[in-house]
Amino acid sequence: MRLRIFKADKGDCLLLTSNRGANVLIDGGMRDAFYQHVLPYLARIHRRRERLDLMYCSHIDRDHIWGLMALMDELVAWRVHEYQIQHGNASHPRPEHPRPPDVAKIWHNGFHEQTDLNMGDVEDLLSNQAKTLSGHSDPLVQSLASGVDDLAASVGDAIHFSRRIGEGQLKIPLNPEFDGGFMYHYQGRPIQVGGLRVTVVGPFKEDLMNLRVEWNDWLRRNQRELGRIHRRTRGGEGTFGQGDLDGLLERLSDQAGELAQTDDVASAVDALAQHLSNKVLGNRQKVTVPNLASLMLLVEEGNKSVLLTGDGHFQDVLDGLELADKLDASGSLHVNVLKVQHHGSEHNTHLDFCRAVTANHYVFCGNGAHENPDLDVVDAFLDSRIGTPARRSENAQVNQRFKLWFNYASSNAELETKERRHMRELERLVRRRGRRSRGRMRYEFVTQSHRAIPV
């Protein structure tokens, strides 16, 4: 089993290959990063006459789905071109980008199922809400507008993604093991994918059903609120005032069941409320609704294992592993590779998780955007291996050598100033802890487009 990590901007993109040669693409990152760093490698797979046996989209956020959307767009363009050539139109223009490999099937919990036919209403409301917020003079509120607008774009991408893979276009089987419906944790046999044994760790079916209710409740509440503000502004009262702002901020704050938040939104709300000085790791109430719906997998081949967590919450991961009978008597698990959830965000990880799940390789996907990977999260993982006895894991493998992988380095030219500054701070932390580890801890900040991890 081999795992390759790609530069994906602020998102995730990995490729898992079984010993039999089956390829599993895990999320797609952001669109520009996909074209620059991912597609050239995938084109090599096509030239070898291989395919993607599975394309797995963990959830609908743009930093996971947008690259996959680009892949779908390229497949459509190439199928049209090949059809034209095969039917005598030799002058049909060749697509601009290299041909990606064909996709045998897709695992993805579609937005249509999550919203119960209200897709367009959600997208329209988010777009209108972003426009309303962008009219405010406060730069923090404008940051909120940017976050909501990004989420609106993610919703649009998710709708487009569902149409691309459907019967009318690419006709790629969706969640065939679940008859085309939601994929969720179940206690049956692992799913076989080219020699890989895949256990669906999460989400749970009841959580998905609850999320549908929350999406629609959010839609009704915010339609009323936004309509009230629009009526006031049309009535000549100017831009909305502090009372209106407080109402929207309350709805955009990090409460369980609230949709309209991304990392931009959460950061702006935290700044306004001055909560940053009271950071608490693993607060599930600050994890967004789409992230809580992340499709999470434990992949095994022989005695090797990879835990793929999407942007899920640590407690959901542990609950899913326990129900799948993957934890030992002490509630712990050691894997070869852990893809750390949500780019190392503070809201998705806790020291308890770091102590319960240990790994030979810890993969952090994040380029410093939104201060991810979070320094305290990285510290927690390191404490679980080389910290004080009270913070160290009780797993039998705790004293083995391990390695941290980061898919960006501060020297990467495409980073913005703020992102570069955070990555430098992260590098200083990791180097400092590494020097004190007596050789047990290794690390790599990847500078090239992709890097293979020896699972």
- List per-residue pLDDT tens for the chain, 455 residues long: 999 999 999 999 999 999 999 999 999 999 999 999 999 999 999 999 999 999 999 988 889 989 998 999 899 899 889 989 999 999 999 999 999 999 999 999 875 554 444 444 444 444 454 455 455 555 544 454 454 445 444 555 655 666 666 655 678 898 999 988 889 998 788 999 999 999 999 998 877 776 666 656 655 655 555 455 445 444 433 343 444 444 444 444 433 333 333 444 444 444 444 433 457 899 988 887 778 889 999 999 999 999 999 999 999 999 999 999 999 999 999 999 999 999 999 999 999 999 999 999 999 999 999 999 999 999 999 999 999 999 999 999 999 999 999 999 999 999 999 999 999 999 999 999 999 999 999 999 999 999 999 89
Using the Cα atoms of residue 111, residue 114, residue 116 and residue 118 in order, give the sign of their dihedral. negative
Largest CA distance in the chain: 72
- Are 165 and 105 within 8 A, CB to CB? no
**Strand, helix or coil at 2?**
strand
pTM: 0.81
Cα 248 from Cα 252, distance rounded (Å): 6
326 and 350 in contact (C-beta within 8 Å)? no
Residue ranges of domains in the chain: 122-155+207-286, 294-455
Pairing of strands 402-406, 296-301: unpaired
Token pair belonging to 49: 């006459």
* Token couple for 19: 């010993």
Instruction: Please give the structure tokens belonging to residue 378.
Output: 């990285």
Of 58, 44, 51, nearest to 24 by C-alpha is 51
Query: What is the rounded CA–CA span in Å between residue 161 and residue 151?
Result: 15
In angstroms, the CA 275 to CA 254 distance is 11
